[in-house]
């Protein structure tokens, strides 16, 4: 099968955002008098959007009103500080440039705030990602693992399900791809271990961007 497009998750897939996410969450926790999280805690909590990240950071005893207040504090702070330590993973830019040169279309679909996704994509992937979209539940587009975000981007690109490959790094991505009817490739350099991905049902694991390019171009 010849793919026409590759759709990527952002955090843990094309960008290493973990340090900036940790610093943003801990800044918010400090503002609300809560103890800081470790890097590994934040790694385990990301993937289901900013609200779920804040819920997990605050713990099960937090009231919905506290989650709302902290989320409202966190989002603009992260937007202003999301490009300090964040960088593309080694080989990602070469991968995307190679696929573009071969005629593949590319997009980024993430559960992080839409404003941050657009800003990060503009900074790091200009001319490479045709679309870059984040969480837009206020518009009736449910976040991953619902299929809505992938369906919306695929529709904007005028592509069928068989035209697209989805690339992610977590159990959320695997479930999203299944719900959207897309094949999923799981990368091992992101926020979940190989063992976690296999336990979540991953069937295709990729260890390097170069190997991903070969898989796509030789499909």
Considering the domain architecture, whether residues 202 and 99 belong to the same structural domain is answered as yes
Boundary-marking domain end, from 64, 81, 98:
81
| pLDDT number for residue 219 | 83
| Burial annotation 189-218 (CB, 10 A radius, 16+ → b, else e) | bbbbeeeebeeeebeeebeebebbbeebee
| pLDDT number for residue 74 | 96
| Whole-number Å distance between alpha carbons of 82 and 176 | 25
pTM: 0.93
CATH of the domain at 54: 1.10.150.240
Domain total for the chain? 2
Per-residue pLDDT tens digits for 105-131: 999 999 998 999 999 999 999 999 999
| pLDDT number for residue 197 | 97
Question: By the 8 A CB rule, do 42 and 20 touch?
Answer: no
CATH of the domain at 90: 3.40.50.1000
Considering the domain architecture, whether residues 9 and 95 belong to the same structural domain is answered as yes
Considering the domain architecture, whether residues 128 and 187 belong to the same structural domain is answered as yes
Beta strands of 52-192 (E only): which ranges? 87-88, 105-113, 131-135, 164-168, 183-187
- Catalytic residue of the set 9, 11, 148, 173: 9
Domain extent, residue 103, equals 5-16+86-217
SS3 43: helix
Q: Give yes or no for a cis peptide into 145 (omega within 30° of 0).
A: yes
Question: By the 8 A CB rule, do 183 and 161 touch?
Answer: no
**Residues lower than pLDDT 50 in the chain:** none
Half-sphere exposure (Cβ direction) of 45: Cα atoms closer than 13 Å = 21
Q: Dig out the tokens for 106 from the structure.
A: 């590319």
9 is catalytic: yes
| pLDDT number for residue 61 | 86
Considering the domain architecture, whether residues 66 and 165 belong to the same structural domain is answered as no
SS3 47: coil
List phi, psi (to 5°) of 59: 95, 165
| pLDDT number for residue 60 | 86
| pLDDT number for residue 205 | 98
Q: Return the residue matching tokens 């449910």.
A: 142
List phi, psi (to 5°) of 112: -75, 165
Boundary-marking domain end, from 43, 64, 81:
81
Boundary-marking domain end, from 27, 51, 81:
81
| pLDDT number for residue 1 | 60
- Which residues make beta-bridge pairs with 173? none
């Amino acid at each position: 099968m010849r793919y026409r497009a590759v759709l990527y998750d952002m955090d843990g897939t094309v960008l290493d955002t973990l340090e900036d996410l940790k610093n943003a969450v801990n800044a918010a926790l400090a503002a609300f008098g809560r103890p800081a999280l470790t890097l590994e805690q934040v790694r385990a909590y990301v993937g289901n959007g900013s609200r779920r990240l804040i819920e997990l950071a605050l713990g099960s005893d937090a009231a919905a009103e506290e989650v709302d207040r902290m989320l409202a504090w966190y989002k603009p702070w992260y937007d202003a500080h999301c490009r300090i330590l964040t960088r593309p993973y080694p080989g990602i830019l070469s991968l995307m440039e190679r696929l573009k040169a071969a005629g593949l279309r590319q997009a980024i679909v993430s559960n992080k705030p839409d404003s941050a996704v657009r800003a990060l994509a503009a900074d790091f992937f200009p001319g490479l990602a045709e679309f870059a979209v984040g969480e837009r539940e206020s518009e009736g587009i449910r976040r991953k693992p619902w299929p809505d975000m992938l369906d919306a981007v695929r529709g904007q690109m005028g592509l069928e399900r068989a035209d697209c490959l989805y690339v992610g790094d977590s159990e959320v991505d695997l479930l999203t791809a299944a719900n959207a009817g897309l094949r999923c490739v799981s990368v091992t350099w992101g926020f979940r271990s190989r063992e976690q991905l296999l336990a979540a049902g991953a069937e295709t694991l990729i260890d390097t961007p170069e190997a991903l390019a070969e898989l796509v171009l030789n499909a």
